[in-house]
A and B are shown apart, each in its own frame.
Chain A
Amino acid sequence: MFGKGLLKGLKITIGRFFGKKSTVQYPEKRLPLPDRFYGKPDFHYDKCIACNLCVNACPNKVITLGTDTVEKKKVVTGYHFDQQYCLFCGLCEEACPKDAITFTDDFELTTYDRNTIGIEFVKQEQVDNKIKEIKQAAAEKAAAEKAAAETKVQTENTDKEQTTNKEGGA
């Protein structure tokens, strides 16, 4: 019969009119985000071994890794993440052997200024600290080596003395 479909539609809409609403009042309430969500990237300076795998994995050349060799050790001096070109594909996270680059669940990435879109993860003091650490470690190592060498020399000397003494005594 003509009009049956029209009435059925009206019935459905009036049912929904009094039914449950599916809106989530966003800024106050948020839907739970899954663990795998690709939000704002996060970088763990201490974990990074400067292997460059993430840079090579990225399809859009988002990541620029700055490295420096201090005392024959690679130091990350800069990790620039140019977020505006990021596809949020997660290939960098997958490539990283040490989980140094991860993604948080922060999806509110809007900024007022274009210059603030790119993220410079590495702070100068972190680099300074790291370099200092390495230098210190190297210095300690060197000192230890030196001390070890000295003791060795000493022991050698004493050995010599002993031998000479022995010889003398002989």
Chain B
Amino acid sequence: MKTQEMLLNVGPQHPSTHGVFRVVLTLDGETVVNATSVPGYLHRGIEKLVESRTYPQVLPYTDRLDYLAGILMNWGYVHAMEQLMEIEVPERAEYIRVIVGELQRIASHLVATGAYAGDVGGLTGFIYCFRDREDIMDMIEMVSGARLTPSYMRIGGVAGDLPDGFLEKCQKFIDYLPTAIEEYNGLITGNEIFQHRTKKVAPITAEKAINMSLSGPILRASGVNYDLRKARPYSIYDRFEFDVPLGSNGDCFDRFYLRILEMTQSARIIRQALAKLPEGPINAKVPKIIKPPAGEVYAETESSKGIMGVYVVSDGSTKPYRVHFRRPSFVNMGHFDELIRGWKIADVIAILGSFDIVLGEVDC
């Protein structure tokens, strides 16, 4: 029998490429023989755009990188700028950053969990996750005035103090979260069909993960204990007690389940931060017109997708000479086309979902 390989364009408009990602598959029946990923459909040239903006004006653009974790993106940028200008951030601001940042991390992981359930066909799990994410969105809206694009952090602090009622709401959510996680575990994680779909699918070995410079939950699912919050604590993460959950097989299931485990740890951090939240100013003394000394800085933070690195070159003027973002999703995607070879089309979607990419971040 004469058979032929088929070329299939998955995306840029496809229900489960999480945006406008395109991957060109060469198929033998349902099996992927070859794959080429084609990112760039959401490229807005943010790195170039911000060169013509002043330092504070860069901030709203960082929201648009990983729009599911805007605050963590803000954090990456302000962290780099604070290192460049050697600003000491006040205690209270650091605590607020940790609280809001970890809330955002939970929100981002909730999207990952829910979207993954949707990717493998269980739309109810998707809705449940989004229902609970809505609580976090409300809280972020309370502190920053926007749901997705908070622009909450400022160089040297945060935009505003925590509003009235925030602490109670946050506490309430943290208390509720275990119930919700139990529900996800019952509906999604514990489901045998789901486990059949994800276990032993596309495993990444620890060695390979390190070689491909993966970071975040994908790296830790392969059993590599590397979380910047523990390995090289920035901000005040060295003051909190939390574990770094690790996977063992590095397959889709581990990558998925690790995020649920991380939500619990984030909740733990928030609980401690809420208890220890000090009084005080929320902004360091920063000149009105920000003119960092000429020089360059590269600073890394742990975003929900992995290591978010920000590289800023300053020429001493009010505008950055060059800004580069090391977007974790983009770097993680480097391993994608190699990984999906030999798996079925349905697995391609499952693997892509387990990577939890955000196209705003991949294409920048």
Contacts and interface: CB of A to CB of B under 8 A. Distances in A.
Do A and B touch (CB < 8 Å)? yes
Given A2-B192, A36-B143, A88-B149, 4 more contacts: A3-B192, A13-B187, A34-B145, A91-B57
A89 B113 CA distance: 29
Contact of A34 (B134, B163, B195): B163
12 contacts: A5-B192, A6-B193, A8-B186, A12-B186, A22-B131, A34-B142, A36-B144, A36-B163, A37-B141, A37-B145, A59-B61, A103-B145
Contacts of A5: 186, 190-192, 194-195
A87 interface: yes
Interface of B: 53, 56-61, 63, 124, 128, 131, 134, 138, 141-146, 149, 151, 159-160, 163, 183, 186-187, 190-195
A103 B124 CA distance: 36
A156 interface: no
Nearest to B166: A34
A63 to B, nearest CB: 13
B60 A87 contact: yes
B191 A91 contact: no
Interface of A: 2-6, 8-9, 11-13, 16, 22, 31, 33-38, 57-59, 87-91, 94, 103
B145 A90 contact: yes
A16 to B, nearest CB: 8
Given A8-B190, A12-B183, A34 B59 contact: no
Contacts of A6: 191-193
A59 B149 CA distance: 14
Contacts, number: 77
Contact of A89 (B60, B128, B186): B60
A8 B128 CA distance: 16
Enumerate the 8 nearest inter-chain pairs by beta-carbon distance, A residue then B residue, closest first. A59-B57, A36-B145, A89-B60, A5-B190, A34-B142, A89-B151, A38-B145, A87-B60
A4 B186 CA distance: 10
A88 B124 contact: no
A16 B134 CA distance: 17
A94 B57 contact: no
Given A59-B57, A91-B57, A9 B142 contact: no
A58 to B, nearest CB: 8
A5 B195 CA distance: 10
Contacts of B186: 5, 8-9, 11-12
Contact of B57 (A4, A57, A103): A57
B200 to A, nearest CB: 17
B160 A36 contact: yes
A21 to B, nearest CB: 10
A57 B128 CA distance: 40
Nearest to A1: B192
A33 B138 CA distance: 9
A8 B190 CA distance: 8
Contacts of B146: 37-38, 88
Contact of B141 (A34, A58, A87): A34
A89 B133 CA distance: 22
Contacts of A13: 124, 187
A123 B55 CA distance: 34
A13 B191 CA distance: 13
Nearest to A23: B131
A69 B268 CA distance: 59
B163 A35 contact: yes
A81 B279 CA distance: 38
Contacts of A94: 159
Nearest to A56: B54
Contacts of B183: 12
Contacts of B160: 36
Contacts of A91: 56-57, 59-60, 151
A87 B150 CA distance: 10
Nearest to B145: A36
Contacts of A89: 59-60, 63, 149, 151
Contacts of A34: 141-142, 145, 163
A87 B148 CA distance: 11
A30 to B, nearest CB: 13
Nearest to B154: A94
B336 to A, nearest CB: 29
A31 B147 CA distance: 13
A4 B160 CA distance: 49
A32 to B, nearest CB: 9
Nearest to A105: B145
